[in-house]
Amino acid sequence: MSSPRPAPTRAQLYGWALAMVGMMPVLYVLLSTLLTSIGLIVIWLGIPCALGLLTLLRKLTDVHRRRAAWILGTEVERPYRARNPEHGLIRRVFAMLTDSATWRDVAWLFVQGTVGSALAIINVALPLGALGYATLATWWWALPDDAEVNFVGFLTVSSTASALLVGIPLSLVYGAIWYVLSPRIMRAQAKVSASLLAPTEAARLANRVQELTVSRADTVDTQAAELRRIERDLHDGAQARLVALGMSLGMAEETVARDPAAAQELLAEARIASSQALAELRDLVRGIHPPVLADRGLEGAIQALVLANPLQTDVDIDIPGRLSAPVESAAYFAVAETLTNVVKHASASKAWIRLSYEDGKLVMLVGDDGRGGANASDGTGLRGIERRLSAFDGTLVVSSPLGGPTVVVMSVPCELVGGN
């Protein structure tokens, strides 16, 4: 994903701030303490130290990835393997140490502490030189008219001539050089960072394989859970109704000759049982794939969902065509489950749904003005939605500060398959 490059002046100021924080000493201190803690792993003391320093290093490199992306106008991805939440302290440390991206981060520390710092220092030295000569020219100009300035012991000129011939020109030259070279210097520094901090092609493929493995496992688990739900609903609902229907018909058959009135009551019960079984089967089918989704598409299905929802909900849908049936089904149930969570848990008075198609992605936003505090990692329905979307390489991001509002943004890469 690309973003607009910063203006040259912003790049210059950012490079100035980067050098002024004493980047080189900080990087070398981090590098030396990290290597020391890795060496102390054999006596266990280094394990928590290494974990803390590696975590700090990843946060620092994340900052520089964002900086490089901002300067270069292109995204710099995180290259790390996905962390297994079941791993303990020791396994987490060794997983980070065996990740090639960690050692590329260590290499970046050294390179950034030398080449990167040198570029940043040049970016500071040039404007300081311009400022110094401007200050000197101002001082020479303020001297009395008959004052003279001696240059290196062999040239003596008046103070006014010194300001005009030396101070002001050199100040302008240094300033012009800084203005022209500073954005290029910062882009060069950003390219050095991006070359080390971005994932290699092999790492990108390995991470992709790992993501697909996890996604496949989640999809299999989700499908197995869905099949168990359907089986349970059939067994406890429609099947029980049909068994009762058969018993009522059998009893009516036995009693119709000797007690027509009782048989008539049994037939009435059977008719009610058949209606209830049919209704439960319809609900079950609707839970698998709503008929309105096939008939009217995702927009019509979402509108019907909102009409049946007790919470006031605004809907804004801008999709210029139909999506494939699996994507529409996943999107519909993701929105439906999110809206159900809002009704159950948010204590909201209003909700809103926004659906749009942009840059080859279906983007779904569900928000509410409730109490907030939603978290996808708490084992709520949001985790199930995330697993459902992961089968399509989809993502889910939750913003839910305490006190609200809550905004859930879901996106699914997909293609349009037809017009509306």
Q: Residue 320 pLDDT > 80, yes or no?
A: yes
Higher pLDDT, 317 or 251: 317
Q: Average pLDDT over the chain, rounded to whole? A: 75
- Least confident among 31-40, 217-226, 405-414: 217-226
152 pLDDT tier (thresholds 50, 70, 90): very low
| Other Cβ atoms within 10 Å of 234 Cβ, number | 15
User: What local confidence, expressed as pLDDT, does residue 80 receive?
Assistant: 82
* Percent above pLDDT 90 for the chain: 2
Highest mean pLDDT: which of 20-24, 52-56, 187-191? 52-56
Q: Indicate the SS3 state at residue 157.
A: strand
405 pLDDT tier (thresholds 50, 70, 90): confident
User: Which distant-in-sequence residues (6+ apart) come within 8 Å of 304 by Cβ?
Assistant: 290, 292, 296
141 pLDDT tier (thresholds 50, 70, 90): low
Q: pTM for the full model?
A: 0.50
Cα 313 from Cα 248, distance rounded (Å): 45
| Other Cβ atoms within 10 Å of 342 Cβ, number | 24
153 pLDDT tier (thresholds 50, 70, 90): very low
Q: What is the mean pLDDT of residues 10-24?
A: 54
- Least confident among 32-46, 210-224, 296-310, 345-359: 210-224
User: What local confidence, expressed as pLDDT, does residue 148 receive?
Assistant: 55
Q: Residue 331 pLDDT > 60, yes or no?
A: yes
Q: Which residue has the tokens 């991006």?
A: 194
The tens digit of pLDDT for each residue in 236-294 reads: 666 666 777 777 777 777 777 777 777 777 777 777 777 776 766 666 665 556 667 77
3 pLDDT tier (thresholds 50, 70, 90): very low
Bridge-based pairing of strands 313-318 and 406-413 is: unpaired
The tens digit of pLDDT for each residue in 73-120 reads: 777 888 887 776 666 778 888 888 888 888 888 888 888 877 777 777
- Angular region, 414: left φ>0, alpha ψ -120 to 50, beta rest: beta
Angle 52-63-366 (CA atoms, 0-180°, nearest 5)? 100
Beta bridge partner(s), residue 156: 150
**295-418, CATH topology level:** Heat Shock Protein 90 (3.30.565)
**What element of type H or E holds 184?**
helix 168-197
**Helices 23-39 and 117-142, interaxial angle, to 10°?**
150
Task: Give the domain ranges of the chain.
Answer: 8-197, 215-288, 295-418
The tens digit of pLDDT for each residue in 355-374 reads: 998 888 899 999 888 888 77
Q: Residue 192 pLDDT > 80, yes or no?
A: yes
